Chains A and B, each alone.
Chain A
Amino acid sequence: MDFSLSNEHLMVQKMVRDFAQKEVAPVIKEYDRKQEPIPFVLPRMGELGILGISFPVRYGGQGMDYVSLGLACEELEAVDTTMRVAMSVHVGLCAGTLFHWGTEAQKQEFLVPLAQGKKLGCGAFTEPGMGSDVTAMRAAAKRDGNQYILNGEKMWISLASKADYALITVKTDPNPKKPSEALSTFIVDLTSPGVTRGDIHGKLGVRAGSTGWINFQDVRVPAANRIGAEGEGFKITMSAFDRGRYTVASGATGLIRAALEASVKYAKERAAFGKPIAEHQLIQEKIARMAQDYEIARLLYLRAGWMQNEGKRCTREISFAKKFATEASFKAADDAIQVHGAYGFSDEFDVERYLRNARGAVIYEGSSEIQTLIQAGYALGQREDKPLRCEQPAYDAEEWQK
């Protein structure tokens, strides 16, 4: 068993780290305070290839593997969650799903510009009255000749106001045999007539990110934009969540690391009772837990990355990684604030932002409660992975880099 990263992985890690530290770290506080996205970040991530890191070169990507995607997410979220959120929705939910389930024509039309970073994608599943209970969604599409007519509202959508395309799941069958067969997934051009959208303000965290709503009023979508078969939307959505969760897990791992590094630095500088607080055992306890959780979270996501490289289904493993890393990142940020004392409570230091940013990930891309049910389902033998009509392609360096 080889736990080492390749030189290629190490160079990817360093490149993404340098970008995030040099260009984003110096300005993130200002934009987080203003609750505005940093204007240059997404174009720059596109230009550097980060938005297409794990897609084959022939589809406009960079031909790196799933481990590289995780490493990039870790580095991005170690600076700010907003960048990783963009990876989750653009790569995980939207482009990744096209790569997994799309036809060659759909890949050429939509995946290529997304992977090139020329277009932005998001994933639209959640609604004002529906989150975890996916089959309860109300947005619907009706077939009309060669088109579908889409109506409904999606909410809490990252990049809602910024994306060019949305991967969206809606009801296409009002009277299905099984609730999960009611849904179909589409790729929708968000400049289509009938689409309105906006941002939601006043969020606890991820304040330099764009989160919003998208309303569809008689939006005509070509039938050719349906991903997979009619009624296959539930399976497609679940596989999109697996990918999204992988990026959330690896990103939250970066957040634990950021909380740890900030705490180590501060604990060595700040003195109390005649010695640096790093020499007090109750501070050490917090730092030790952050260090341990970072290692656990990292091993969990890297294993899931490796399994994806091998073409193995890893819903279960990604669920462990996502739940553990997001909960541990919230705890790490909370402890980091405690280590920083009153300073941690102010935005003079970064740790309060870490706490606010960590909170959302315990809810989105499958809440901790949903992850617990998934994990219990596997453990009790009530849940097993049935073969999908399409499996997510395994990594093939030769083929992906042609």
Chain B
Amino acid sequence: MKIVVCVKQVPDSAAKVTVENGKVTWGDAPLVINPWDEFAVEAALRQKEALGGTVTAVTIGGEGTKDALKHALAMGADDAILVNDPALGTLDTQAVAQLLAAAIKKIGGVEMVFFGRQAIDGDSGIVPAQTARLLGWPSLTLASVIQAEAGAVRVERSTEEGRQIVKAKLPAVLSVAKDYGEPRYPSFMGIRKAQRAEIPTLALADLGIPAPAAVVTWPEVMNLPARDVKCEIIGGTPEEAANALVDKLIAEKVL
């Protein structure tokens, strides 16, 4: 079975993300594979282990984003593809989905596509569904249990209301929830393989599509308003403290 896992390089979850001069910045914090995508790679690898086949990791972006692909390779993915083109501008989720769908078609014969539930930077969580729509394949999101066999897949979804069991024919697009199970660590062999891997780049000409235009833009980005909180501890006997507190609350017009 040919399996694709789509991954994204994001700022580390410990990074302090702020806005400077209207632009989002995370300082010199390291970039890492989106933590949710590690679950997707794990799910892809377990399907491969159960059913045979290959796992190809795909991402979009410049040279630096190859590190996310290398992480997937080090975990055990067989190969990786970078989608990149100088003509690409700012991408929104539907533009990303167009590029990924085109890459998946280009790879050809893919039966399962895995995504993390969302990326921790954009946090939209809709690229899996958008990619499925463009491919015309079923979209099975938030999967916590995945059983594929004979051209079909049975998935338990972790929804807010509880568990939902859905079935679909393959090919299909799946996004993986955290309760699928802990992602494995990269192996030493995998680490070496990843460092030596030649990662091919697919440009727009290879995908046979024009540069997708973003329809959603971020006209303004702001920092969270700073919280200005003062803490005062009122002493004295409980009775005195209560009286002082009530006086203060009245003075502040809270009461």
Contact = CB atoms under 8 A, between A and B. Distances in A.
B192 A8 contact: yes
B197 to A, nearest CB: 11
Among A11, A48, A49, A53, residue most surrounded by chain B Cβ atoms (within 10 Å): A11
A63 B191 CA distance: 11
Contacts of B71: 11
A364 interface: no
A12 B185 contact: no
A64 interface: yes
A382 interface: no
A282 B164 CA distance: 59
A15 B74 CA distance: 10
Contacts of A30: none
B192 A401 contact: yes
Contacts of B191: 8, 11-12, 15
A7 interface: yes
A219 B216 CA distance: 78
A157 to B, nearest CB: 28
B192 A18 contact: no
B194 interface: yes
A12 B191 CA distance: 7
A378 B185 CA distance: 43
A64 B185 contact: no
Contact of A48 (B70, B185, B192, B194): B185
Contacts of B185: 15, 18-19, 48
Interface in A1-48: 6-8, 11-12, 15, 18-19, 48
A97 interface: no
Contacts of A7: 67, 70, 195
Interface string A308-351: 00000000000000000000000000000000000000000000
Contact of A49 (B187, B194, B195): B187
Contacts of B186: 11, 15
Nearest to B185: A15
A53 B195 contact: no
A221 to B, nearest CB: 33
Interface in A236-253: none
B218 interface: no
Interface of B: 67, 70-71, 74, 185-189, 191-192, 194-195
15 contacts: A7-B67, A8-B192, A8-B195, A11-B74, A11-B186, A11-B191, A15-B186, A15-B191, A18-B185, A19-B185, A49-B189, A53-B188, A62-B189, A63-B189, A63-B192
